[in-house]
Chains A and B, each alone.
Chain A
């Protein structure tokens, strides 16, 4: 129930803050973007992140992780959000890592978790098929053929899809197009796989995403993650962890934009005085302050709920994801406006934060999706 960090967590936060500020500043992200880096993330930085134990933060010690827990991972993501650090943390650690840990056979855990913890593997969740997050609306088909399944269909917005070594693919093995039952998850190797086509897409936030097409891709039955037709039981909790993780990243992002904006209000002079002395701007800044404080509370509570394995994780995941999506829209819009013309320039960071905020908001469900879900979970 703690909404206050303990000593260990406070120390981790400090380590993460120092690391991202010094080693992965926004300049690092700009370099990736401007050089049209093939990987879309800094592999050297990713190795360092793994060496610090951040990649194995939710992986049990027996698989080479640090088992520091979700609150710890949230702290790392928050700091990453402050500097726009592009890493496979969400795709590989949050989504794939938690799916394998909770749904994997012991052989699958043995195989993948140590590789995740050491940062030696990148994994991606191939889930979405349309313009909006709709996790059970799956048309991609998997048909049993002897000891194999044959997958046919098309996935979009696959985070880190073009750099992934292994995909987790959600396909329909039975049921109608919107049923939660009948979904099966498959581990699919991206190397030397016939019928698999991966195309990198370029999003406004300059982070990695891809279209993945399956044309009768053959996958052995041993690669099913969880049970046949029962993939939803593995998928949904993993999605919630991903959603909370993105909320934590966004918490870092909004704080950075807010603080930068308040600093600017204290510097910029017009009409012979700093613009921060104008009440019209003061009140707007105070409103943003309230939003940041509310966001901090919901993210911390959601992370604690995961850590304590509470049954209100789904509701808190939706609360955090929806709130951070709305708050990040407000704060990046207001931040840009208060910066005036300079906020519109590519040279200034606020625009980069705005673009990232929108993509993060749309990832794993936007505010509309999560408000609807929050109400459904409470049965109204």
Chain B
């Protein structure tokens, strides 16, 4: 048996023994394992599962062992993911620390910062949020004004962040702050701030979907020790951009609707809600829209795969990758519009009697999807990026 197969056998055995039965079922609303100081464990198994995985570093399987990661090679991680899928295991930990901040810290932070901040991310002890956008700095993110002053042994921060996902539930915030007002991009720094202090207040914003995942975050004489500055002073924009790449990659995958196809069963939904004739969706115009959606989705999935293969073949991130955020989010929005069209009034319920849980969820998800082409860089900004960086069209 070669080393990889041995790893597979051991992994399988360990998972059999350690993944609780309820963690092998689809995720339920409210059971998402976000971790953090104020973690809520609706299902106690979620906590057990997260802690067991974290102990092996398998919440961050490829991160270095010295910072609490799993230290797995790419191949080993592939095996681990396959084995997790095999038993339909839930993700043990959801976290902006894992998806966004961690990779940036590994690349830009100093040794002391890595030792302080990465292990608690891996263990799900600290929940992070992202302090980027401001009321006056949306698409023009580099126009941000949150003031950061050097007070000798610490920084003093004053300003307001907005669209801070789950700030009301987070423990720490990674922030873009202005440390030089005489320059734009070169006056921005990347600062880590503990939110457990009087100067930080997060207020949830009610969204059109009825949920409040985003907050306004007010920083009023908030303090951060100077060691919390990541990278050099006024060089935060480089880190910010890299982090945005991780964020955009995360969002563009949504267009595939989880199932990897055009979204799970939109054609079946059409048969159910509209009816069928001789095995075909009864309304030919809806049927044609569904085919278009599915074709677009398959073409997009193939392009993501081609881009990954090109990267693996050492051809670098191909030009195609610049379209993922734009196309993936627009595709996801179209998918929900079509799904709603297919469901008729059953897709337009808000709450209560007369609608199934799935139907109500779809309505809310349709509304939520509108944000995909705004957050993490609007579609218009993405088109600018393609035009300027890829096609090299002039200013």
Q: Residues on A close to B: CB < 8 A? A: 2-4, 262, 265-266, 273-274, 276-277, 279, 281-283, 285-287, 289-290, 293-298, 300-301, 319, 322-323, 371-372, 374-376, 378-380
Which of B65-73, B232-240, B318-326 is the interface stretch?
B318-326
In the complex, whether B211 has a CB less than 8 A from a CB of chain A is no
Q: Are A319 and B299 in contact, with the CB atoms below 8 A?
A: yes
Q: Are A300 and B380 in contact, with the CB atoms below 8 A?
A: no
Q: Are B295 and A319 in contact, with the CB atoms below 8 A?
A: yes
Query: How many residue pairs at the A-B interface have CB separations less than 8 Å?
Result: 119
Partner of A286, one of B276, B302, B387: B387
10 closest A-B pairs by beta carbon, nearest first, are A282-B387, A3-B306, A286-B386, A297-B302, A380-B267, A297-B303, A286-B383, A294-B299, A276-B393, A371-B291
Task: Give the residue name and chain of the B residue nearest to A375 (CB).
Answer: B291
In the complex, besides A283-B383, A286-B383, A286-B390, 9 extra interface pairs with C-beta distance below 8 angstroms are A3-B306, A265-B393, A283-B380, A286-B382, A294-B327, A298-B298, A319-B295, A371-B292, A380-B268
In the complex, whether B182 has a CB less than 8 A from a CB of chain A is no
Q: Are A283 and B302 in contact, with the CB atoms below 8 A?
A: no
In the complex, whether B305 has a CB less than 8 A from a CB of chain A is yes
30 contacts between A and B (CB under 8 A): A3-B302, A3-B310, A4-B306, A4-B313, A262-B391, A265-B393, A276-B394, A282-B383, A282-B393, A283-B387, A285-B387, A285-B391, A286-B391, A289-B386, A289-B391, A293-B320, A294-B300, A294-B327, A298-B298, A300-B302, A319-B298, A323-B295, A371-B288, A371-B295, A374-B294, A375-B280, A375-B281, A375-B290, A380-B276, A380-B281
Partner of B295, one of A266, A273, A290, A374: A374
Task: Give the residue name and chain of the A residue nearest to B308 (CB).
Answer: A3
In the complex, whether B315 has a CB less than 8 A from a CB of chain A is yes
Task: Give the residue name and chain of the A residue nearest to B266 (CB).
Answer: A380
**How many angstroms from the CA of A97 to the CA of B291 in the assembled complex?**
31
Q: Are B390 and A289 in contact, with the CB atoms below 8 A?
A: yes
In the complex, whether B309 has a CB less than 8 A from a CB of chain A is yes
0 or 1 for each of B217-237: is its CB under 8 Å from A? (1 = yes)? 000000000000000000000
Q: Are A293 and B303 in contact, with the CB atoms below 8 A?
A: yes
**How many angstroms from the CA of A293 to the CA of B301 in the assembled complex?**
12
Interface range, B side: 35 or more
**Distance of B41 from chain A, by nearest CB (Å):** 41
Task: Give the residue name and chain of the B residue nearest to A371 (CB).
Answer: B291
**How many angstroms from the CA of A103 to the CA of B271 in the assembled complex?**
38
Chain B residues, Cβ within 8 Å of A295: 299
**Distance of B274 from chain A, by nearest CB (Å):** 11
Task: Give the residue name and chain of the A residue nearest to B265 (CB).
Answer: A380
Q: Are A297 and B391 in contact, with the CB atoms below 8 A?
A: no
Q: Are A380 and B300 in contact, with the CB atoms below 8 A?
A: no
In the complex, whether B29 has a CB less than 8 A from a CB of chain A is no
**How many angstroms from the CA of A336 to the CA of B287 in the assembled complex?**
32
